[in-house]
Amino acid sequence: MTMTTDAGDAACLDLTRTLRRRGVVVLSVFGMVWALAGGSGLPSPGLAVAGVLGALLAAGTLVAGRRRTAGEVTRPVRLPERWNRGVGVVNAAEAAAIVGVVAGANASGHPEWIPVGVCLAVGLHFFPLARLYDQRQYGWVAAALTALAAIGGGLLAGGLSAEAVRAVVGLPAALALWGTALLVARD
């Protein structure tokens, strides 16, 4: 279904609001996942602190996002032809890449590369989603996560511990996802 209607079209406004709400939820939940991953690299009680703060930030993002998406839609989405099929392909490719990263890193005896590889896969998948969902903010988070993966990879290759790399990649990734959720909600 192509939605290239003007702002007065109720169906387009409804779809815009729905897609933004879903985006806020997905970004908030996965921000929490990254907060826990990053927290697992911190000295004790880092994981517990990251978990509590992450839960509070995720909940705050969800509440703020819900409120913001309930208001007037200022910019209705303009979705490309067969956008939902494209989203399915992109998400399937991301899932396959993550499985490949986990399997390859474990098989090669280098599980410390998993957070870096997963962050790269997640970051890259946002580039096409920015166009498919007509949300330029996804391009920003794509760039941020891809850069975090590159930084984490460089630090890991340079000898930084796996724990420190999890924190360096995971905690900023969580913040990037939560920040993007808020930006998506206000657009």
pLDDT tens-digit readout, 12-45: 888 999 999 999 999 999 999 999 999 999 998 9
In angstroms, rounded to a whole number, what is the distance separating the alpha carbons of residues 131 and 149? 22
Residue 187 has pLDDT above 80, yes or no: no
pLDDT tens-digit readout, 91-141: 999 999 999 999 999 999 999 999 999 999 999 999 999 999 999 999 999
Which of 145, 148, 164 is closest to 156 using CA atoms?
164
Looking at this protein, which amino acid is placed at residue 110?
H
pLDDT band at 3 (very low <50, low <70, confident <90, very high): very low
pLDDT band at 4 (very low <50, low <70, confident <90, very high): very low
